[in-house]
Structure 1
Amino acid sequence: MRAPNNLNALRAFEAVARHLSYTAAAAELNVTPAAIGQLIRGLESYLDIELFHRSSSGPSRLALTDAARVALPDLQGGFDLLSSAVERLKASKSRIIFTATVPPAFADKWLLWRVERFQRRHPYYDLRIDTSGHLVDFTAERIDVGIRYGAGVWPGLISTFLLRDEFFPVCSPTLLKGRNALKKPADLRHHPLIHDISMSGFGVFPTWRSWLLHAGYGDLVDTDRGLQLNDSAMALQTALSGNGVALGRTTLVERDLAEGSLVRPFDEVQSCELAYYLVHRKEGSQRAPVLAFKEWLLEEAGVR
C-alpha cells in the first residue's frame, strides 16, 4: 500500500495530539469539535486501539496512550514529507522564490561562482542572496536559509557543518621576486601586513600575531603595523593587487590560488575551531527549497 487510508482522520489525530484538545484541533482544521471526535473514534475503530486516555477531571482531559505517543513522531514526519512533495509539485508550474543570507566575503569568493550549478539543477527556484553582513532575524526578515561563520550554535536555528578553514599567508606572485622577495617568514618585515579584523570579536580567530607564534616566528615581525580592514574579501583583493601580504583562509582563496592570482609564500598553516554552517529554522527543515539548497550545498562543500 503506497498511501495510508484515513488521511483526514490521521490529520485530526495529529492535531489533537499536539493540542490535547478537540476544540483547538477543530479550530486549526476549520471543522467542528464533533467532526474531530467522529474522525478520532473512526480511526480508533479502524486500528482497534485507543489513542487517548480520557478523563473528566484534571488540567487536561486528554492524554496520549503509549501506542499513540510512539507513533506520533513518524506521523508528523510523514506530514512534513507530504507538504514538501506538494511544494515540489507546485514548483513544476510556478517559480518559488527563497532567500539565503550569506557573509559578503563567502558569497564573493566561494558561493556566487558556483550558484549557477544550483540554478541549472533547480530551474524553478529563484534564489535571492542577502549579503548585508549582519545577523538577520530569520522570521522578521523572511529568510529561508543562511550561511554563518562561527561556533555552530545560534538560538532558534538548526545548523549543519559545511567547511572549516586553515589560515596561511597569501600574496601576489610579484612579491616572490626582486628586492626583498618573500622566501621565509622573516622577510615579512619588508612588506606591509594586511589585517582582516572582520572577526575581531572572536578570540580564537587567527591573526598575524597568532600565525607567527604558531609558525615559530613570533619575535621576528612587528604585527602591530599594516592596513586593517573589516572585510575579508577586501583584504584579499588588496593582497592580490600587490599592496601587501594577507592572512588568507582556505575557503576564500581557493579560486585565486588555482588561477595563480594569489600564491602561498610559506607552508605553515594555522587551524581554527570556527567554521561555516548552513542554518535554518526548525519549522523549515522539510521545506522543498531548503532541502534542495542544503543537498546541493553539502555536495559542493564535499560533506558526506
Structure 2
Amino acid sequence: MRAPNNLNALRAFEAVSRHLSYPSAAEELNVTPAAVGHLIRGLEDTLDVELFHRATSGPTRLTLTDAARSVLPALQAGFDLLSEAVEQLKASKSRIAFTVTIPGAFADKWLLRRVERFQQRHPYYDLRIDTSNRLLDFTADRIDVGIRYGSGVWPGLVSTFLMRDEFFPVCSPALLMGKHPLRTLADLEHHLLIHDVSMQTSGVFPTWRSWLQKAGCRNEVDCNRGIQIDDSAAALQTAISGHGIALGRTTLVEHDLEEGRLVRPFQESQSCELAYYLVHKKEGENSAPVVAFKEWLISEAGAR
C-alpha cells in the first residue's frame, strides 16, 4: 500500500481526535469523509499502530487509543508552532519600518537624492528619516541606525567609516562677473564671507581662517567679517543665492557643482580629520534593516 502524505494524514488525525467524527473532521478540512478515513487508515498502516477504537453502534463510534491520546498534545503543539512559522513567513513580505537619524544638511544635499535606489533594492523597507540636529538617544528615541559627522567615537555606538570631505570656497557663478569678479584671493575683500559655524566647537572643523592660511593668504583678507550661519545647508543656499562665498565641503556641494548652481572660484582645498560614519547600537548589528541599509550606504559612499 502506498504511504499517505504524512502531514495531511497527521492533520486528519488531529482533527478527528477533536471531533471524534470523520464527517465533522472532513468538513473542517474541506475534504470528503472517505478521504479522511483513507488518510487515517494509511497513517495507522505506516506507523503500525492503532489510533482509534471503532464501535459499530452507540453514540460515540470513535474513541482514542491510549497511544493516540499520549501523543495528541505534542502533535497539537507542533501544529501551533507550524502555524506561527507560516505567519512569520507571511510577515517577512510585509513592509518593515525603521528609523534613521541623519544631519539635516547631509540628508538634503546627499542622501535624499539617492534614497530611491535603496527603496528599489529593498522594497519592503520603509525609512523614517529624522533630521534633528540634537544628539539623540538611540534607545530612548527608538533609533535603528544613524549617520554622524565627527571623529568616529560615540559612547555606546558601533561606528563604520563612510567618507571624508575636502573643503574649498564655493559661490554663485554670478560672482565671477560683475563689478568685482572673483579672480584672486584678494578679490574676497569685495564679497561677503559666509561662515558655517555648525561645528565650531569641534576645534578641527575648517574655517575661513584655516583655509586662507593653507592657500597662502596671510593678512590680505579679513577672515572674521561676514555672516555666521549655524546650518550647513542654509550657508550653502545663501551662496547659491549669490549673497556671498561659503566654505563648502565635497559631500554637500557636489550636486550643486554638477548642476551649475555653485562654482569653485579657487582650486585650493583643505582636508579635515572629521568624517561621516554610520552608527548603530551593538545589539543591532545583525538586524536585517540595519545590515541592508549599511551595505547600501557603504556602496553609495564608495561610488562618489
Q: TM-score, normalised by structure 1?
A: 0.70
Amino acid at match of 2:157: L
DSSP 3-state at the match of 1:201: helix
For residues 233 and 113 of structure 1, what CA distance do their matches in structure 2 show? 15
Match of residue 220 from structure 2: 220
Where do residues 151-300 of structure 1 align in structure 2 (5 Å cutoff)? Answer: 151-300=151-300
* 1:213-268 C-alpha deviation (Å, 9 max, x unpaired): 11110211111110100000000000000000000000000100000110000010
**Where does structure 1 differ by over 2 angstroms across 4 or more consecutive aligned residues?**
88-93
For residues 255 and 283 of structure 1, what CA distance do their matches in structure 2 show? 35
For residues 299 and 209 of structure 2, what CA distance do their matches in structure 1 show? 35
Does the 8 Å CA contact 1:147/1:277 hold for their aligned counterparts?
yes
For residues 254 and 227 of structure 2, what CA distance do their matches in structure 1 show? 23
DSSP 3-state at the match of 2:258: helix
Kindly tell me: are residues 199 and 90 of structure 1, through their superposed partners in 2, closer, same or farther at Cα, counting changes over 3 Å?
farther
Kindly tell me: are residues 91 and 272 of structure 1, through their superposed partners in 2, closer, same or farther at Cα, counting changes over 3 Å?
farther
Does the 8 Å CA contact 1:147/1:279 hold for their aligned counterparts?
yes
Kindly state the Cα deviation for residue 92 of structure 1 after the two structures are TM-superposed: 3.9
DSSP 3-state at the match of 1:238: helix
| Identical-residue share of aligned pairs (%) | 74
Does the 8 Å CA contact 1:180/1:190 hold for their aligned counterparts?
yes
Kindly state the Cα deviation for residue 191 of structure 1 after the two structures are TM-superposed: 0.2
For residues 89 and 234 of structure 2, what CA distance do their matches in structure 1 show? 42
Kindly tell me: are residues 169 and 90 of structure 1, through their superposed partners in 2, closer, same or farther at Cα, counting changes over 3 Å?
farther
Amino acid at match of 1:274: L
Match of residue 81 from structure 2: none
For residues 189 and 228 of structure 1, what CA distance do their matches in structure 2 show? 17
DSSP 3-state at the match of 1:149: strand
Kindly state the Cα deviation for residue 199 of structure 1 after the two structures are TM-superposed: 0.2
Kindly tell me: are residues 91 and 279 of structure 1, through their superposed partners in 2, closer, same or farther at Cα, counting changes over 3 Å?
farther
For residues 182 and 165 of structure 1, what CA distance do their matches in structure 2 show? 24
Kindly state the Cα deviation for residue 91 of structure 1 after the two structures are TM-superposed: 5.8
RMSD: 1.8
- Structure 1 regions of 5+ residues with no counterpart? 1-85
Kindly state the Cα deviation for residue 186 of structure 1 after the two structures are TM-superposed: 1.1
Match of residue 113 from structure 1: 113
Where do residues 70-89 of structure 1 align in structure 2 (5 Å cutoff)? Answer: 89=89
* 1:47-104 C-alpha deviation (Å, 9 max, x unpaired): xxxxxxxxxxxxxxxxxxxxxxxxxxxxxxxxxxxxxxx9x95664211110000000
Amino acid at match of 1:221: V
For residues 303 and 156 of structure 2, what CA distance do their matches in structure 1 show? 23
* 1:23-60 C-alpha deviation (Å, 9 max, x unpaired): xxxxxxxxxxxxxxxxxxxxxxxxxxxxxxxxxxxxxx
Task: Please identify the structure whose Cα radius of gyration is greater.
Answer: 2
Q: TM-score, normalised by structure 2?
A: 0.70
Aligned length: 219
For residues 147 and 167 of structure 2, what CA distance do their matches in structure 1 show? 20
